[in-house]
Amino acid sequence: MSRLAREVDLRMPLFEQPWVAHLYKNFAEWSANRSVRTPRLPENVGKAVDFFLILDRADDLRPPLTADAMVKVFSSKALRSNLNASTFLQEQFGFIVDGKARAEGQSHALIEDKLAAAAGTPWHPYLLSYRAWLADKSARTVAQYMGVAEAFCRQFEISGPFSQQELVEFLASAPSARTNLGPWVSFVRKHLGWTVTLPPKVISAPALRTDAARLERLLGGIGDLSEASTPDLEEVVALAFGFNKRELAKEVLGGSGPRYLQTRNGPVEVPERIARLVATWLQRRGGKA
């Protein structure tokens, strides 16, 4: 018996699934036939058993294998470090694990990591329901949404309905998470019936730190409000409240008395300094000032 055959036979008892054991034997033959034999071939095939044992232990995995199944079972690192075994499986079952498939698999792994991190916590059932609610989204999008939701739940140890105050505190510490937090707020409101909304974009005074100088220039150039152009007024309002022009049209519903803008996520106070300008813009737009 050759050394390669002995290495393979020694590892056969490790397998629980006959079809995976058969794959491993075929991999050894494939490895021997695809190139000139080297002294390291038996050792390399022996080391590859760990890769096949991952398949063997995977729940509910059945042949024929597919690219989707591979990227769910194996990390990108595992596929790269076991390139020969991965290539063999792709040839055997006629699929290709490309960059897109690996990225999709990595996203699925991130989702499972977040759920695993929440196991045993009061918020774990909410995250499970949230993942199901996001079923029509891409894995990359779900991973982003789940990551922010898990971080929010962990920070405040969510065990039931929460208030807008928690959302305000979370966004104060992670303002860039706003976009990915929105779907979580929609989920708890629509699916769980919790009465909470995403806090409006409130920019104090109206001084955006990075745009304060630009805002001052715009305000200085407005002059008589009756003669100011509507685009100029719109630009000031958008900058003062932290919207871009496209968001402004969608997010601002109208006025709410002389001191508030009514947005999709609640009222936002209008600084006295620009109250008349905002009222003029609302009148031009046809909104209630």
pLDDT confidence tier of residue 208, bands split at 50, 70 and 90: very low
Residue pair 134/183 in contact by the 8 Å Cβ criterion:
yes
Residue pair 244/238 in contact by the 8 Å Cβ criterion:
yes
d(CA 171, CA 165): 10
E-assigned strand segments in 168-258:
252-255
Dihedral of CA atoms 263, 269, 270, 273 in degrees, nearest 10, equals: -170
Type of residue at 86:
S
For the chain, the straight-line distance linking the first and the last C-alpha, in angstroms and rounded, comes to 91
Residue pair 115/124 in contact by the 8 Å Cβ criterion:
yes
pLDDT confidence tier of residue 247, bands split at 50, 70 and 90: confident
pLDDT of residue 81: 85
d(CA 270, CA 14): 70
Average pLDDT over residues 241-253: 77
Average pLDDT over residues 182-202: 85
For the chain, count helices (H), then strands (E). 16, 3
Q: What percent of the chain has pLDDT over 70?
A: 88
pLDDT digits (tens, 9 = 90+) for 263-286: 766 667 788 888 888 889 888 887
Across all residues in the chain, what is the average pLDDT?
A: 83
pLDDT digits (tens, 9 = 90+) for 47-89: 999 999 999 998 878 888 888 888 888 877 788 888 889 889 9
Cis peptide before 183 (omega within 30 of 0): no
Residue scoring higher pLDDT (15 or 79): 15
CA gyration radius, the chain: 29
pLDDT of residue 150: 92
pLDDT digits (tens, 9 = 90+) for 122-145: 999 999 999 999 988 888 888 889
pLDDT of residue 171: 84
Write out the two tokens for 164: 């807008």
